[in-house]
Structure 1
């Protein structure tokens, strides 16, 4: 129907906005606005605030917000889906719901914030011609300086319908598929999805979805300047008593250098740098899903990252098997269990 230009922001709900703000500022965001009902948090680059946190009764992810380059895209979306274009944040928006049940807002013309001063990547003495002489490297152990929102990763029991919806409704394309070992003929169980801007390279993924016995938020990721910013920002979080979920390492799909942390409510947030960008000419990759296949180097992904140490997983599996309207069956459950222990 349309081709979205990127992620605009993500929305969360938290019962304690003061606690949420402390973590997010320590994580590297800058506060753009705060009221008794909501927080707006931003990166250093110009654009919309990357994160909106609303006061609510629990801690949860609400949904993703995407941006289009033309108001006509919203008119087309509204016409085809039976929705309405409404005023929103100085611009316009269409409210949709994806097959997983996530509320999805598509916006155009929303007011943007100017850029803030940012730290340039460190000059590194690689190779035979050093670029830094008579100067030391002393990265400060302080909150990381988030540049921008990168991507969000969601779990869904209705993987195939959700994947088709994002490709057909929002015009996105797949960078990489993951399948269960020995079950490629059954199709993918995870997809990394990017924008289609023709010959203009786009982030390897702004959205990733994984077939799971539950539907929900897995993590979101935010870009930093370089490896030192990832490492020093992580040391600051550790000093403040936050829980690292996994890292530091380098992913295979997307190539990002990553570090994952959990907030006080156990929601997971990722620092990353050096991610891949692809244009529309690259065909999707295929690989088996496995814990060891999640990174090129770094520590092995633990149960703290995969969530397999959560007792609710068993209840989720039983519930998913009794729901005949999803993609979960005994074969996929066995394959997922094998993948998470491989």
Structure 2
């Protein structure tokens, strides 16, 4: 008889062995033992993993980025040239509680203004949080009566690019970030559905924090770790940088057109749903509708994260989540355990995504926003083809817990 004793990992309870819906049903195989993209039938093979080229992984349902840009009349010379995603901006009704959460999530305060909310010109309390990477801060939080998404903030190449952004319809004038760590200037825009996007230039880089030591791993044939024992301490998973964020939108095509026309966002992967045949009887799969996009910042030959921004079609328009990079899998597991022990609510994780390959771990913050730790993500450049794949729960992860019903809502 199977052992029915359970053990707690800090956020949920799972059987020590045996079948469990927590760990998911079997998902489609993405590579077979030879590295060929296929779903093998016949004999059951052991699971296998490999690092394969982007062209192999994406497969035949793809096209060159330049071809996609030409087909969609994208004039790259007119785009505002982004360099990287720098920080997120949110408003929180209970900033002290949110501050504790962000510390438990692995950030630390670099500046705190108007701690006494009666002080200052507007009485707004502001806190800038940083990681150990080169950014002065990765998260800006302010107090306010209601929960608000104040946008992701991107660094641009030059002041000229910032001024170009200020000329986009509806953009703010160039504003000086006189109170923010590192200074700089910022322009705030709104997309067609009213979501805020910020661009900035001129922030002084921060000195790097202490980088975590790399843990040496032994496998069955390569064993470099001799007389060195791996040891860990509990605590939050230290955040390195902001990696990406995403939106749920109403008019997907219009949103994609706006972002890729105005900024050097480039699609890495689209997800689609098949449309019904003209007679309404089933579908032959020839007619498709794109419903989600994972987009990277096009920096030419330079390697960049698989996605810095994503959007998906939804009945309501809202921010989905923002995501921060941590050092490695052990860091992530220890951080998951720490958050669980503090009583926070896990959304989904830990698992590994297919698109982007990241190891993911999603949580609810104390305001009700979704936030993620990730590690080990893919890198792409201009030669990575634009991929197309079927939308569905099975496209989201190769291993991990079942996708919660509310994750894509």
RMSD, aligned CA = 1.7
Q: 1:117 to 1:199 in 2, by over 3 A?
A: same
Equivalent position of 1:147 in the other structure: 240
Matched, 1:302 2:380: no
Which of 162, 175, 195 matches 1:86? 175
Q: Deviations over 1:188-227 (max 9, x none)?
A: 1100010010000110111011110111111111101110
Which of 41, 62, 72 matches 2:160? 72
Contact 2:274–2:289 (Cα < 8 Å) also in 1: no
Q: SS at the partner of 1:179?
A: strand
Which of 171, 176, 194 matches 2:264? 171
Q: SS at the partner of 2:323?
A: strand
Q: Of the two structures, which has the highest relative contact order with CA contacts closer than 8 Å and spacing of 6 or more?
A: 2
Which of 89, 94, 98 matches 1:11? 89
User: C-alpha separation between the residues in 2 aligned to 1:17 and 1:82?
Assistant: 30
Contact 1:177–1:286 (Cα < 8 Å) also in 2: yes
Task: Give 1:268 deviation, angstroms.
Answer: 1.1
User: C-alpha separation between the residues in 2 aligned to 1:226 and 1:80?
Assistant: 40
Q: 1:11 to 1:184 in 2, by over 3 A?
A: farther
Contact 2:271–2:391 (Cα < 8 Å) also in 1: yes
Which of 119, 122, 127 matches 1:39? 127
User: C-alpha separation between the residues in 1 aligned to 2:321 and 2:286?
Assistant: 25
Single out whichever of 1-10 and 121-130 deviates more from structure 2: 121-130
Pairing of 1:182-197 with structure 2 (within 5 A): 182=275, 185-197=287-299
Equivalent position of 1:126 in the other structure: 219
User: C-alpha separation between the residues in 1 aligned to 2:336 and 2:147?
Assistant: 23
TM-score, scaled relative to structure 1: 0.85
Q: 1:238 to 1:69 in 2, by over 3 A?
A: same
Equivalent position of 1:104 in the other structure: 197
Task: Give 1:299 deviation, angstroms.
Answer: 1.3
Q: SS at the partner of 1:95?
A: strand
Contact 1:67–1:108 (Cα < 8 Å) also in 2: yes
User: C-alpha separation between the residues in 2 aligned to 1:304 and 1:132?
Assistant: 43
User: C-alpha separation between the residues in 1 aligned to 2:138 and 2:237?
Assistant: 15
Gaps of 5+ in 1: 308-342
Equivalenced residue count is 307
Contact 1:118–1:145 (Cα < 8 Å) also in 2: no
Equivalent position of 1:275 in the other structure: 377
Q: 1:71 to 1:232 in 2, by over 3 A?
A: same
User: C-alpha separation between the residues in 1 aligned to 2:404 and 2:224?
Assistant: 38
Contact 1:27–1:233 (Cα < 8 Å) also in 2: yes
Q: SS at the partner of 1:188?
A: strand
Task: Give 1:184 deviation, angstroms.
Answer: 6.9
Equivalent position of 2:359 in the other structure: 257
User: C-alpha separation between the residues in 2 aligned to 1:273 and 1:9?
Assistant: 18
Gaps of 5+ in 2: 1-78, 116-124, 276-284
User: C-alpha separation between the residues in 2 aligned to 1:167 and 1:18?
Assistant: 37
Look at both structures and tell me which one has the larger radius of gyration over its CA atoms.
2
TM-score, scaled relative to structure 2: 0.72
User: C-alpha separation between the residues in 1 aligned to 2:130 and 2:286?
Assistant: 40
Q: SS at the partner of 1:301?
A: coil
Equivalent position of 1:26 in the other structure: 104
Which structure has the highest helix share of the two?
1
Contact 1:292–1:300 (Cα < 8 Å) also in 2: no
User: C-alpha separation between the residues in 2 aligned to 1:128 and 1:195?
Assistant: 38
User: C-alpha separation between the residues in 2 aligned to 1:259 and 1:168?
Assistant: 32
